[in-house]
Chains A and B, each alone.
Chain A
Amino acid sequence: MDTRRRILVMALCVALPASAVDTVKVGVVEGLSGPPAITDFGESYLQGLKLALKDYAEHGGKPKIELIVYDDEANPQRAVSLVQRLIQSDNVSIVLGTVSSGNVMAFAPILQRAGVPLIAGPSIATNITTDFINQKPSFIFRCSMVEKFQIEAMLDWGVKNFKKLGLIHSTTGYGSFAAKSIAEGLKQRGSGLAAVEAAAPGVNDLTPQMLKMRDAGVDLVLDFHESFELVFRPMAALDYHPVVAGNWGLSSLKVEQVVGDKALEGTVMGQALDLAAPAAKAFDARMRKEYGKDYRWPVVAALGYDAGQIVAAAVSKAQSADPKALRDAIENVDGIKAITATPAHPFSPGDHECLKQKDVFLGVWKNGQVVRLEPKR
């Protein structure tokens, strides 16, 4: 090839529009097996995400998005190796996931170093994005509940409306971290916990822990154990019926099926989806039609859907498979019509969370549905 032709070819390559990219690969690592709470979270988030990408494809979205999904089995080592595989072998441009915050904290630094954007979800540990926000640019985003936000909302309400607060948490990293945040939050409010009880993750019976709650006169039990249904089981036998408030997991339709509407009535949890809102209602009906009995968690699926919308909008805007271009596109994405409280322009250089403190509210089970908890007048 003579020099002139070589220059021409090079010039053509440079001048080729970015839209020449046909497909953008998006990697997903989710907890899709293991304890029920993990799989309920992981599958629900993925259901929403897939629906959003299906909508993108049906509307003729270009470039195409190819989803590569792996199951991390809630195992941090596996999650890390899957993310490495996504970056090195699958050459994905964006990664989404996963349920366990510990797993996200394990692989987020790898993605930050590799310069591949991560949209974390449905993990909720407070510091997932804030740990990276000062690294300019940060590649770590999140579309999920934020633990601190739901705990703050719950403690404000709990301290005002109840005499004695008790806490049951799991002995996992998640449960211990939540316990620490709750103890600190109550201290800041000049209050404290009347009883604190723990339980191992695989435990089957919380009778001893609930006895302690009853003896301490606790009228609000904060439930931060991954097996959300366990606190309800001994209540009838102990003739002890405190109000239960806890992790957003308590809004799962699976918890409703296992515990029953009657026992669940009045249970409060962190929320970011108001099913009374028309868009949320329409989404809920669509998900029920799409997934039938496999649909079990409106708020988690809705956040997955919103994450999918953000990915689609960023890919469409960037018209490129370059991770750095996609990172910029994600940060600047605008005009999202979110199902959850996620704003139309969710991110900025100083904030990589879909949800803000003001977007998180308390939901309550009422007549078989989670509705917004109205403050007492």
Chain B
Amino acid sequence: MSWANFLQLLVSGLAMGAIYTLTAKGLFIAHLATNRLNFAQGDFLMIAALLTLALRGAGLPVVVVIPLVVALLGLGGWLLERGFIRPLDRLGFRGGGEYSWILTTAGAGLIVQNVAELAWGKSGQYSPPLFSGTNEPVRFLGVGVYPEQLAVIAVSFAVVAAFYYFLFRTHWGKSIYAVAFNPDAALLLGIDVRRMVILVFALASMLAAVSGVLAGPIVSVYPQMGLVFTVKGLAVAAVGGFSNPVAILVGGVLFGLAESFSNYFNSQFGDLLPLLGVLALLIVRPAGLVGARKATGR
């Protein structure tokens, strides 16, 4: 393999890995505080990509569209927790089952999909580039890179750094960890547990918004696209052990690169091999790359 090919695969693998990282990060933060997974995470990514398209189509500039979509999805996260997960959790005490959130989040994903189909149709959509008028790549060392690919890589690293700071250095981050450790004890310590839970779902949805906005121009955008991202996000979060932001970044990068290189060497099973790799890893290390003893990442 030539150096140019190696670098090209590296860039496309890193870009896809960055999208998986952001999706996994959303799954991780919600799981951290509530022990629940948002199975609609990929669908939130999809709706963010379509909203970006619609708002840009309405003539709004990118600098307005991005914060608007992030805010709208944050609101969506709040609605998911407040309107869907919590009411069913309450029913859980009356025999509704403590795993009702699985159905709730997956159902919310289906609702989002159907709304998207109604609003935008079932076909694929063209997502214009965010940072330039034409879809032309930047060239260096014989490799072509789209600005969106660089942006999604940079943003995923920046988000990891921000998350690390937020979780381990701020009062709110510590509160989330306290809720994760023991919600009753956190309540006794004066932490508003409900607010923390809403916060993590809003944060998770905002992460989906960021990945949706950035991924739109580099992947195919259509209402059914979310499931693949949810599944791959789950795989990445499992590699990271659902434990800390850095481990998830490592998992995401490894998964994206594995997908890119395995498709180069054997495209017949290119998408299957990374998933089999994750399964093999989990057999050897059920707690993911970072073992249980290093779960906090400190």
Determine the distance from Cα of A40 to Cα of B125 in the docked complex, in whole angstroms: 12
Tell me which of A201-209, A320-328, A355-363 binds B.
Answer: A201-209
> Which A residues are CB-close (under 8 A) to B9?
207-208, 211
**Cβ-based interface call for A215 (8 A):** yes
Within 8 A of B (CB), among A149-187: 171
What distance in Å separates the Cβ of A125 from its nearest Cβ neighbour in chain B?
Answer: 21
- On whether the beta carbons of B121 and A208 are closer than 8 Å, the reply is no
Tell me which of A29-37, A77-85, A91-99, A126-134 binds B.
Answer: A29-37
- On whether the beta carbons of B224 and A236 are closer than 8 Å, the reply is no
> Which B residues are CB-close (under 8 A) to A236?
135-137, 144
Tell me which of A111-119, A252-260, A338-346, A364-372 binds B.
Answer: A252-260
- On whether the beta carbons of A205 and B224 are closer than 8 Å, the reply is no
Determine the distance from Cα of A204 to Cα of B23 in the docked complex, in whole angstroms: 15
Name B219's closest neighbour in chain A (CB-CB). Answer: A204
What distance in Å separates the Cβ of A237 from its nearest Cβ neighbour in chain B?
Answer: 3
- On whether the beta carbons of B263 and A209 are closer than 8 Å, the reply is yes
> Which A residues are CB-close (under 8 A) to B222?
35-36
A36/B124 contact (C-beta < 8 A), A200-B270, A229-B220 known? yes
A36/B123 contact (C-beta < 8 A), A198-B268, A204-B16 known? yes
- On whether the beta carbons of B8 and A207 are closer than 8 Å, the reply is yes
What distance in Å separates the Cβ of A222 from its nearest Cβ neighbour in chain B?
Answer: 14
**Cβ-based interface call for A247 (8 A):** no
> Which B residues are CB-close (under 8 A) to A238?
8, 144
Assuming A43-B122, A229-B124, what are 20 further A-B pairs, CB within 8 angstroms? A36-B123, A39-B122, A40-B122, A198-B267, A199-B270, A200-B271, A200-B272, A202-B271, A203-B270, A204-B220, A205-B12, A205-B16, A207-B8, A208-B263, A215-B5, A227-B220, A236-B137, A237-B145, A237-B146, A260-B126
Contact residue range for chain A? 35 or more
> Which A residues are CB-close (under 8 A) to B137?
236-237
What distance in Å separates the Cβ of A216 from its nearest Cβ neighbour in chain B?
Answer: 12
A258/B220 contact (C-beta < 8 A), A203-B271, A205-B260 known? yes
16 contacting pairs across A/B (C-beta < 8 A): A32-B122, A34-B122, A35-B222, A36-B220, A198-B268, A198-B270, A203-B271, A204-B218, A208-B9, A208-B263, A236-B137, A236-B144, A237-B143, A254-B124, A257-B126, A258-B220
What distance in Å separates the Cβ of B233 from its nearest Cβ neighbour in chain A?
Answer: 13
- On whether the beta carbons of B8 and A237 are closer than 8 Å, the reply is yes
Q: Which listed residue (B126, B218, B264) contacts A212, Cβ 8 A? A: B264
What distance in Å separates the Cβ of A329 from its nearest Cβ neighbour in chain B?
Answer: 34
Determine the distance from Cα of A34 to Cα of B122 in the docked complex, in whole angstroms: 8
> Which A residues are CB-close (under 8 A) to B123?
36, 39-40, 254, 296
> Which B residues are CB-close (under 8 A) to A237?
8, 12, 137, 143-146
Within 8 A of B (CB), among A199-249: 199-200, 202-205, 207-209, 211-212, 215, 227, 229-230, 233-234, 236-239
Determine the distance from Cα of A230 to Cα of B271 in the docked complex, in whole angstroms: 15
Determine the distance from Cα of A259 to Cα of B222 in the docked complex, in whole angstroms: 14
- On whether the beta carbons of A208 and B219 are closer than 8 Å, the reply is no
- On whether the beta carbons of B5 and A211 are closer than 8 Å, the reply is yes
A258/B125 contact (C-beta < 8 A), A205-B12, A209-B263 known? yes
> Which A residues are CB-close (under 8 A) to B272?
200
**Cβ-based interface call for B98 (8 A):** no
> Which A residues are CB-close (under 8 A) to B146?
237
A258/B124 contact (C-beta < 8 A), A205-B219, A209-B263, A239-B144 known? yes
What distance in Å separates the Cβ of B263 from its nearest Cβ neighbour in chain A?
Answer: 4
- On whether the beta carbons of A260 and B260 are closer than 8 Å, the reply is no
- On whether the beta carbons of B268 and A202 are closer than 8 Å, the reply is no
What distance in Å separates the Cβ of A261 from its nearest Cβ neighbour in chain B?
Answer: 12
Q: Which listed residue (B126, B224, B267) contacts A199, Cβ 8 A? A: B267
Binary interface profile of B, 204-228, with partner A (CB < 8 Å = 1, else 0)? 0000000000000011101010011
Name B124's closest neighbour in chain A (CB-CB). Answer: A36
Binary interface profile of A, 277-316, with partner B (CB < 8 Å = 1, else 0)? 0000000000000000010100000000000000000000
**Cβ-based interface call for B163 (8 A):** no
What distance in Å separates the Cβ of A221 from its nearest Cβ neighbour in chain B?
Answer: 13
**Cβ-based interface call for B117 (8 A):** yes
- On whether the beta carbons of A208 and B136 are closer than 8 Å, the reply is no
Determine the distance from Cα of A211 to Cα of B271 in the docked complex, in whole angstroms: 17
A258/B126 contact (C-beta < 8 A), A211-B5, A211-B8 known? yes
> Which B residues are CB-close (under 8 A) to A171?
268
Determine the distance from Cα of A257 to Cα of B53 in the docked complex, in whole angstroms: 13
Name B9's closest neighbour in chain A (CB-CB). Answer: A208
Q: Which of A197, A233, A237 has the most CB of B within 10 A?
A: A237
**Cβ-based interface call for B84 (8 A):** no
> Which B residues are CB-close (under 8 A) to A33?
117, 122
